[in-house]
Structure formats: structure tokens, C-alpha cells
Chains A and B, each alone.
Chain A
Amino acid sequence: MKTLVWVEHDNASVKDATLATVSAAAKLGEVHLLVAGSGCAAVADEAAKIAGVGKVHLADDAAFANALAENVAPLVVDLMGHHDAFVAPATSNGKNIAPRVAALLDVPQVSEILSVESADTFTRPIYAGNAIATVQAPAGKLVLTVRGTAFPKADKTGGSGTVEPVSGSDAGLSSFVGAEISKSERPELTSAKIIVSGGRALGSGEKFHELIDPLADKLGAGVGASRAAVDAGYAPNDYQVGQTGKIVAPEVYVAVGISGAIQHLAGMKDSKVIIAINKDEDAPIFQVADVGLVGDLFKVVPELTGKL
């Protein structure tokens, strides 16, 4: 089987989400990549070095600069003439583009696969991860998105793919206006080894920064948040961990003042070690926590930060 993998990148370098997707695709067969962007030749060269990669299709055009689905989907459909599966990471770009491709190909999509059971059978989470479904796709082209935490990362080196240019065009339906990308020195949430997340209990943006940031700094951790903390404006939207936010599985996840609603657990319960700080000893987060501390976070967190 020939697979075509969507490379997640920022026109400068390959994003880690690509690597888990390559591992998933490699279970199906030959791995070809699509680098669609603008001024992104360096990305294609980097992508060609990923272990196990054959061809890299490079679509370098202003139309692809911002991964607009209206422009990218027809390009992918063209390339699917000689591929059997389109595989994208379940990132915001992957989720935006893949279903548009699937509908144009008139095939169903299997979202956020957790495993490849066979060439047409996959597992995926439903109901906020409270159930795992094993689904079999019909004969024909496959369209999949891949949950990054469920597959190992392919090696960034060792591959010797060849780069081949392809062309596409602007569909003229949409245009990119701008972006406000959060800048942070901290590790990205989806690849951080340690994450400290804050919840509604922090009470304000100031307290969130005052308490969560120094603890994260001490641990070299990424910072996450519950939906309630994001909704209240204590943290930006891209911090949200959960069913409808980011899915993370770090070595250590520290939940501070987070109750542990199923929608939050859906995004972090595959973390290796979960540590919870909550003043309510019956908070559901303690049912999944390996280490729990019942206490007032306003007292406990500064003390913890101080002692590390």
C-alpha cells in the first residue's frame, strides 16, 4: 500500500506531530510525504531525512502558505490518484484538511486512530475516550487522522527520500488574514515530557501566572489548562487539554486545581504519572492520579516550587 502523509510544518521546519503519523503510516506500507507550503524547500529536505520515507512531494506555492483546506484538499486528491491512503496527524490542520479530502474522494474518514490492527482495521476513541471502537474501513481509498500520543515518533534521520515538485492552485474561496500565535520558551504541550496544568481554582490570570509558571519553570515543564481556566481567560485557548482541546501523554502531568471532568481526563489520562493537587479529597481527578495531595493550592504550590 502507498500512503501519503501530510507533513505538519511552519514553512521552516517539520513539526513533531508528523513523526508519529509517519510511524502509523509505515504500518500500512510505503510512506510518501506531502510538504505543502510556501518557501518551504528546507522543510522538504528535512522531511526526506525522516527514517523510512520514500518520496517527498513538495508543493511550494503562495496558495499553500497557510494550509488553507480549500487549496490543499484538491492537491491531495490529485496525488491520491497514485496513493491508497491519506494519513494526517490529528492537529488543527490535519483535522481541517482530511475530512475535506475524504468527502472529495467519497470515502469515510477514520478519525484519531490509536492503533493499526490490519490494513483496513483501526482502533479509535469515542465518547471522550470512555470507549474504544475497532472499526473496519471499506475497500477503496483510506483517509485517516492519527493521535500523536498513540504512536512512537519516527526517527528524524536515517531516511533518504527524494523530493519531487508538484503544483496546485488557489481555489479562490478563502484567504488568510492573520494569526496570533502564542510565543513561549516552554516545551510545546504535545511533546513536553512534563506538563503543569491549572484549573478554575486559580481564580485569575495573575494567579495562574504567579503560581503555575514558576512551578513549570522549576520542572522544565509545558503549561496546560482546563477548559474552565481558558474560558475564564486565565490562559490562552491553545493551553486547553481535553476531549476538545489538546491530547497529551507526558511522563508527568501535574493537575493543579482541576476537578477531573471526563472531558479533561480524555486529554491526559494516558500520561505516565499523574499528580493532582486539589483541596477536595473526593475530586474525580484523584481516581486517576498516581500521587495526590489534598490541600489549598495557594499554600501548597508556592511551597512545592520553593522546595524543588
Chain B
Amino acid sequence: MKVLVPVKRVIDYNVKPRVKMDGTGVDLANVKMSMNPFDEIAVEEAIRLKEKGTVTEIVAVSIGVQKCQETLRTALAMGADRAILVLTEDEVEPLAVAKILKGVVDEEQPGLVILGKQAIDDDSNQTGQMLAALTGRPQGTFASKVEVSGDMVTVTREVDGGLETVSLKTPAIVTTDLRLNEPRYASLPNIMKAKSKPLANKTPADYGVDTAPRLKTLKVEEPAKRQAGVKVADVDELVGKLKVLGVVE
């Protein structure tokens, strides 16, 4: 079975985002960028399925600027077999990403698409579900365990009340949650090897998709700041504060 793994290039999760003075967005100039952490988990899961013999080929795909190549090379260094870069300067919204991915799915016919549950920049949590809708496939979102057997995939999901398990007919769409696995680091030899793995260049037009944003961002602002409060010296003083606040009598 072939697996498709969409990977997004986003601000590194360790960087504190700064809102631009002119209110148009977040300043990404000279900011460290990385693979979306949930997508690393997706790549890792695909590799583990390949190591188990369930999966034969892993295709990574990224939609965005030329630099997304680096993100794809990271996926290749981790263990993906080949990559597709869909080049665009637009900030592509989840629905358009899903439409492009549908185009890739139609071409590649993967048995499984594993996406991150959420991109940590737009925090949309939409693309996987949208791709599932557009392709008419079942969705196992927020996965903490994925088991493939025959043409069924069993997905354990992290839900509000705890865990839930669903069984899906393949081809299926899965989105990853944090507890699915711990992604590996690419070794130096694998980073070298990744440089010669195939990377195809495409554009949204190749899939007949218009990436012009449909939502209009009117402004981007900093949230209200919290003031740091006081430090208390000991537990008695803390209990005193709790009394003042009416938390305890």
C-alpha cells in the first residue's frame, strides 16, 4: 500500500510569534521554520507502517513556497521515498490545500493519507477532514494509534472524554495527534541520501485548483497582555491570597 503524507512548513514551535506592526500578519522574516510537528508524527507513522511491511511506498507532499523543499527533504531524510512540491506564493487556505491534495490522491491512489491534525500557524484543524469529504473517504482524526489489517484500518482517537476507536475502510484519511508516536531524527547519512531522492515540481494549476484566498484577513493583532502579578513568600501567604480571592473560606 502507498501512503501520502502532506507536510507543511511552519514557524518552529520554539519561536514566539511576533505580530507585525502594520497589523497584516505575523512576522516570519528571518524566523526559524520547521516541519509542522504533527506532520513529523505523520511521517514517522508512515515509516513505521513501512517497517512493518504494511506500506510499500511513502510520498511526501508540500504546498507552498520554494523553501518547502527543505521540509520535503526532511521528510525524505526521515524515510519517505519521494516528494512532490506544489509551488505557490499564495497563503493557501485549508480548502484549497485539500483540493490540491485531492488532485494528488487521484493521481497517486494511496491507500492511506496521513496528515497532521492541525498546523501550528493557522491552527485550523480542517485539511484532513476536508480532504476526506472531497475524496468521499472515511476519516480517522486525532489518531493516537493506527492499525492496518487487510483493507481495514483501525484508528484510536483522542477525544474530549478520553479515547475512541473507529474502523475505516481503506482508502482512508488519518490525522495525527501527539501521542501517536515520537518522531525520529534523521541521521546524517540519511540526510545525505535524501538529496538524491526524487522530488517532483508541480503547481496548483496542474491540479486545476485556484489558490486565491476566500477568507479575507482584515487585521491581525496581539492579544490582550496579562500583567504578571505578585509572588508570595510561603504557603500561609498563598492561603491568605486564596481567601481574599474567595476561593476558600
Chain A: residues with CB nearer than 8 A to chain B? 66, 68-70, 73, 91-93, 95-104, 106-112, 121, 125-138, 173-182, 190, 194, 218-219, 227, 230-231, 236-238, 240, 243-244, 246, 251-252, 262-263, 269, 273-275, 281, 286-295, 300, 303-304, 307-308
Contact = CB atoms under 8 A, between A and B. Distances in A.
B124 interface: yes
Contacts of A227: 178
Interface in B209-249: 214-223, 226, 228-232, 234-239, 241-242, 245, 247-248
A269 B231 CA distance: 18
Contacts of B128: 99
B114 interface: no
Given A194-B247, A304-B239, A125 B223 contact: yes
Nearest to A305: B235
B126 interface: yes
Contact of A70 (B139, B222, B230): B139
Nearest to B102: A103
B167 A174 contact: yes
Given A73-B133, A125-B123, A179-B159, 4 more contacts: A103-B95, A138-B215, A227-B178, A287-B226
B93 interface: yes
B169 interface: yes
Chief secondary structure at chain B's binding surface: mixed
A174 B228 contact: no
Interface residues of B, number: 81
Nearest to A277: B238
Given A73-B133, A127-B123, A133-B220, A263 B13 contact: yes
B21 interface: no
Nearest to B238: A293
B162 A99 contact: no
B163 A180 contact: yes
B248 A130 contact: no
B122 interface: yes
B133 A104 contact: yes
A181 B164 CA distance: 8
A216 to B, nearest CB: 12
B158 A237 contact: yes
A133 B165 CA distance: 35
B123 A179 contact: no
Interface string B117-128: 110111111111
Interface string B149-193: 000001001111111111111000000011100000000000000
A267 B117 CA distance: 17
Contact of A292 (B98, B117, B229, B248): B229
B137 interface: yes
Nearest 9 CB-CB pairs, A to B? A290-B229, A99-B129, A103-B133, A103-B130, A99-B126, A173-B138, A177-B165, A174-B138, A127-B17
Contact of B241 (A69, A251, A291): A291
Nearest to A77: B133
A294 B124 CA distance: 37
Nearest to A176: B166
A137 B232 CA distance: 47
Contacts of B124: 109, 111
Q: Which of B139, B140, B239 has the most chain A CB atoms inside 10 A of its CB?
A: B139
A109 B94 contact: yes
A179 B220 CA distance: 40
Contacts of A182: 161-162
A92 B158 contact: yes
A288 B226 contact: yes
A303 B159 contact: no
B121 to A, nearest CB: 6
B16 interface: yes
B162 A181 contact: yes
B232 A177 contact: no
A108 B133 contact: no
Contacts of A66: 164
A110 B122 CA distance: 11
Contacts of A174: 138-140, 166-169
Contacts of B167: 174-177
Contact of B160 (A92, A134, A178): A92
Interface string B29-62: 0000000001000000000000000000000000
B141 interface: yes
A108 B94 contact: yes
Nearest to A227: B178
15 contacts: A68-B166, A69-B139, A92-B158, A109-B94, A112-B123, A126-B26, A130-B26, A134-B221, A136-B216, A177-B154, A194-B247, A237-B144, A237-B162, A290-B230, A303-B235
Interface in B14-29: 16-17, 19, 25-26
